[in-house]
């Protein structure tokens, strides 16, 4: 059978266009604690990432699929998830959420050429060690320590300041960062103390803090130890202000009640609440889930914009070239629900915003920080010596 030349040309044009139209789906991995102590945060990360992928797929033309894995917030499990993603060729991953989980999984992802965008880990050395493939979404511990020190120098100029940590790497690094920035501002701590996590008796430490007549105490550590320290301070009638990082952001601290009134905390700005998906039932999210859902949504936005910015994806298999993607990520800023996001050469979020919040005892006995801001005159960068 003879085919007319015009029809033959039309058939050939369709067959040549078919491969271009049938691009492979780009897979984005999510390593999150869907079980364990941080499961509420993990479910928020999952919800935010799923919503972002659904929105992108509705908009087209590129198609995405979210590959979800539960790392339980545990280093060993996070490493197992990393090995699974590497074997499956997932070259783009959101997470893990915990610093220890990132540290355990990162070498596996490096060898596999996989890029991580992690909304959650704050431990400073994660990015300073020079990993080419790690990008942090949110402020690091050193950034929080710097803001805390600037607040202390401004709120308590020339007055004694105490430093206390829980002897963990996390707590020590925070306290050391505050001490270093205070020295840069011409102020030194009056006393420096440390105790082991779970220590039952802090009487001696509090006595030495009282003898130094400290007006404020910076604590590097987590909520349970912060609670123990404040209780010991109040028992000893030491009315100094406690300043800490978002390591105290935990129900254990909120349960402290009036004793914790006036505590100052550094943290990332409260994220916006994601709009409900079109046509879906209203989502019920816990406060923990709401705290991270927008970050996961933003992580998907950053990845997909970087993928479209440069030809980093093989259209035949949907796999991203990790090295090219990492280079593209550093060429931001990227538009997200959190606002413009860009990264420095280490992979930290440029100018990672840190805010100061006050914990206040409410009329119903609850302790909360929502909407409680440090007075503007005491915030770093507002007419304080050496802070602008």
For the chain, which domains are there?
25-139+277-329 (3.40.50.2300), 142-267+354-378 (3.40.50.2300)
Burial of 305 (0-12, 13-18, 19+ CB in 10 A): middle
Mean pLDDT by 10 residues, the chain (388 residues): 41 41 84 93 95 93 95 97 96 95 96 95 89 93 95 96 94 95 96 95 97 97 95 96 92 89 92 75 73 94 89 82 92 92 93 87 81 79 44
pLDDT for the residue numbered 352 = 67
pLDDT for the residue numbered 201 = 95
**Is 270 within 8 Å of 293 (Cβ atoms)?**
no
Instruction: Give the C-alpha separation, 175 to 245, whole Å.
Output: 10
**Could you tell me the CA-to-CA distances from 264 to 216, 235, 378 in Å, in that order?**
10, 20, 12
pLDDT for the residue numbered 368 = 84
Percentages of the chain per state (helix, strand, coil), in multiples of 5: 45, 15, 40
pLDDT for the residue numbered 371 = 72
pLDDT for the residue numbered 4 = 46
pLDDT for the residue numbered 8 = 41
pLDDT for the residue numbered 22 = 59
Dmax over CA atoms of the chain, in Å, equals 103
Q: Chain centroid to CA 82: how far?
A: 19
pLDDT for the residue numbered 280 = 62
Query: 110: which 2 tokens?
Result: 């490096």
Instruction: Give the C-alpha separation, 369 to 263, whole Å.
Output: 9
DSSP 8-state secondary structure symbol assigned to residue 130: -
Residue that has been written with the tokens 């060690």 in this structure: 129
Query: 292: which 2 tokens?
Result: 């991270």
Instruction: Give the C-alpha separation, 98 to 71, whole Å.
Output: 10
**Could you tell me the CA-to-CA distances from 92 to 133, 140, 265 in Å, in that order?**
10, 22, 33
Task: Name the 3-class secondary structure at 309.
Answer: helix
Query: 80: which 2 tokens?
Result: 């197992």
**Could you tell me the CA-to-CA distances from 20 to 9, 13, 61 in Å, in that order?**
18, 12, 12
pLDDT for the residue numbered 342 = 95
pLDDT for the residue numbered 386 = 40
């Amino acid at each position: 059978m003879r085919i007319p030349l015009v029809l033959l040309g039309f058939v050939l044009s369709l067959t040549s266009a078919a491969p271009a139209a049938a691009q492979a789906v780009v897979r984005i991995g999510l390593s999150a604690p869907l079980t364990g102590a941080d499961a509420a945060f993990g479910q928020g990360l999952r919800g935010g990432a799923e919503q972002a992928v659904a929105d992108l797929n509705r908009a087209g033309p590129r198609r995405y699929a979210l590959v979800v894995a539960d790392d339980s917030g545990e280093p060993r499990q996070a490493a197992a998830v990393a090995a699974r993603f590497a074997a499956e060729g997932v070259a783009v991953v959101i997470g893990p959420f915990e610093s220890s989980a990132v540290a355990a999984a990162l070498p596996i992802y490096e060898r596999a050429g996989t890029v991580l965008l992690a909304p959650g880990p704050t431990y400073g050395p994660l990015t300073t060690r020079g990993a080419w493939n790690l990008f942090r979404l949110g402020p690091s511990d050193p950034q929080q320590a710097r803001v805390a020190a600037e607040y202390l120098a401004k709120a308590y100029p020339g007055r004694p300041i105490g430093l206390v940590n829980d002897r963990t790497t996390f707590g020590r690094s925070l306290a050391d960062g505050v001490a270093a920035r205070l020295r840069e501002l011409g102020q030194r701590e009056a006393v420096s103390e440390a105790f082991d996590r779970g220590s039952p008796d802090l009487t001696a430490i509090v006595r030495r803090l009282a003898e130094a007549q400290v007006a404020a105490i910076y604590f590097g550590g987590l909520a349970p130890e912060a609670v123990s320290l404040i209780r010991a301070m109040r028992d000893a009638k030491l009315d100094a202000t406690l300043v800490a990082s978002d390591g105290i952001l935990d129900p254990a601290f909120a349960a402290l009640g009036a004793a914790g009134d006036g505590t100052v905390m550094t943290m990332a700005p409260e994220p916006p609440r994601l709009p409900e998906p079109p046509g879906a039932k209203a989502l019920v999210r816990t406060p923990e889930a709401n705290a991270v859902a927008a970050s996961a949504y933003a992580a998907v936005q950053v990845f997909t914009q970087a993928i479209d910015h440069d030809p980093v994806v093989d259209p035949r298999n949907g796999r991203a070239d990790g090295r090219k993607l990492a280079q593209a990520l550093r060429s931001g800023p990227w538009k997200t629900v959190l606002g413009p996001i860009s990264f420095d050469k280490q992979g930290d979020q440029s100018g990672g915003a840190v805010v100061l919040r006050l914990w206040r005892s409410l009329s119903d006995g609850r302790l909360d920080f929502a909407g409680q801001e440090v007075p503007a005159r005491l915030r770093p960068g507002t007419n304080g010596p050496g802070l602008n």
